[in-house]
Amino acid sequence: MGNLTLEKLQDWSKQGHRTAFGEAMVLLGQDNSNVYVVTADTTPTARLTNFLKTFPDRLFDVGIAEQNLIDFSAGLAKEGLMPFAVTLAAFAPMRCAEQMRSAIGYMNLNAKVVGIEAGVRFGPLGNTHFAMDDLAVARALPNFTVLSPSDPHQIYKALFAAAELDGPVYIRLTGAPGFPILYPDDFEFKIGQAIEYRSGTDVAIIATGAVLAQAIGAADLLQEKGLSVRVIDMHTIKPLDKAILDSVFAENRLVVTVEEHSAIGGLGSAVAEYKAGFAQAPRQLMVNLGDRFQKVGSYEFQLQENGLTEPAIARLVEENLA
Partner 1 sequence: MNTRTSIEKIREKAAAMRRDSIEMGYVAGSHGAHFGPALSSIEIVASLYFGVMNHNPQDPCMRERDRFVMSKGHACLSYYAALVEAGYLSREQMYTFKGDNSILPGHPSCHVEFGLEVATGSLGNGFAIACGMAMAAKIKNETHNVYCVLGDGECDEGLIWEAAMNAVKNKLDNLIAIVDRNSFQLAGKTTEIMDLDLAKIWQAFGWEVVIVEDGNDVASLLDALQAMQQSGSGKPHLIIAQTVKGKGISFMENNLGWHAAPINREQYEQAQSDLELV
Ligand X SMILES: Cc1ncc(C[n+]2csc(CCOP(=O)(O)OP(=O)(O)O)c2C)c(N)n1
Give, for 98, the enclosing helix (H) or strand (E).
Answer: helix 97-99
User: In b/e form, how buried is each residue of 217-233, taking b as 16+ CB within 10 angstroms?
Assistant: bbbebbeeeebebbbbb
Task: Report the C-alpha gap between 245 and 227 in whole angstroms.
Answer: 20
CB of residue 113 to partner 1, shortest distance in Å: 17
**Cβ nearer to partner 1, comparing 63 with 311:** 63
SS3 content of the chain, % helix, strand, coil (to 5): 40, 20, 40
**Cβ nearer to partner 1, comparing 44 with 239:** 44
- Find which of partner 1, ligand X, none residue 295 binds, CB within 5 to 8 Å per kind: partner 1
* Active-site residue, selected from the candidate residues 66, 117, 259, 260: 66
Task: Find the radius of gyration of the CA atoms of the chain.
Answer: 19
Dihedral pair phi/psi, residue 204, rounded to 5°? -115, 120
Tell me whether the omega of the peptide bond preceding residue 56 falls within 30 degrees of 0, making it cis: no
Of 34, 126, 242, 273, the one binding partner 1 (CB under 8 A) is: 126
Catalytic site residue 117? Answer: no
How many Cβ atoms are within 10 Å of 2's Cβ, its own excluded?
9
- Find which of partner 1, ligand X, none residue 11 binds, CB within 5 to 8 Å per kind: none
Site size toward partner 1 (CB under 8 A) is 28
**Cβ nearer to ligand X, comparing 41 with 251:** 41
Of 9, 38, 90, 216, the one binding partner 1 (CB under 8 A) is: 90
- Find which of partner 1, ligand X, none residue 120 binds, CB within 5 to 8 Å per kind: none
Q: Is 312 in the site for partner 1 (CB under 8 A)?
A: no
- Residues acting as catalytic residues: 66
